[in-house]
Amino acid sequence: MIGRLNHVAIAVNDLAAAARGYRDTLGARVGSPRDVPEHGVRVVFVTLPNTKIELLEPLGADSPIAGFLERNPSGGIHHLCYEVDDILAARDRLKAGGARVLGAGEPAIGAHGKPVLFLHPKDFSGTLIELEQA
Ligand code: CO
């Protein structure tokens, strides 16, 4: 059911420093910072030949990544995003299989302007999973 790895998201406390590391030290193609207030993050996209890295910095006091950064003060991998052809069919199949879809279970528009859902990390080896409509 899942398809390509769309991105790996890394939560950071200092977005500018993380972007510099990817651009100047790792030599990656790094975009400009963009605020995504509806998800409580500021994001920089790093484009690799086969996938993307999203560097996420908290935006606002109640950012959903604030707790993660409290537990991981030097930052860390926050979630993996897999593409699916039909996000509603994927959700229904996952729920029927007992997986927990976070929030109300309705897709929200993600950082790339496409519908996304998040799955509970305890159901998938301790990894928060984002599904994005391909
Ligand atoms: Co993501």
pLDDT digits (tens, 9 = 90+) for 59-95: 988 899 999 999 999 999 999 999 999 999 999 999 9
pLDDT surpasses 90 at 110: no
For residue 44, the model assigns a pLDDT of: 98
Using the mean position of ligand 1's atoms as its centre, give its distance from the Cα of residue 24 in Å: 23
Q: Examine the pLDDT at 38 and tell me if it is beyond 90.
A: no
Higher-confidence position of 121 and 110: 121
Which of helix, strand or coil describes residue 114?
coil
CATH number, domain with residue 42: 3.10.180.10
Residue 130 annotated to the active site: yes
Secondary structure of residue 96 in the 3-state scheme: helix
Distance 8 CA to ligand 1 centre (A): 7
In the set 57, 83, 130, 132, the catalytic residue is 130
Mean pLDDT for the stretch of residues 24-30: 98
What is the β-pairing status of strands 76-84 and 108-109? unpaired
Q: Could you give the number of structural domains in the chain?
A: 1
Domain around 115: 2-133
- Return d(Cα 43, Cα 35) in angstroms, integer: 6
pLDDT at 111: 82
98 CA distance to ligand 1 middle (Å) = 23
Distance 62 CA to ligand 1 centre (A): 18
Residue 130 in contact with residue 79, Cβ under 8 Å?
yes
Task: Quote the CA–CA distance of 23 and 15 in Å, as a whole number.
Answer: 12
The whole model's pTM is what? 0.93
In Å, how far are 51, 60, 94, 104, 125 from 45, measured between CA atoms? 10, 20, 28, 27, 25
C-alpha to C-alpha distance for 103 and 93, rounded to whole angstroms: 17
Neighbours of ion ligand 1 (CB under 5 A): 9, 81, 130
Radius of gyration of the chain (CA): 15
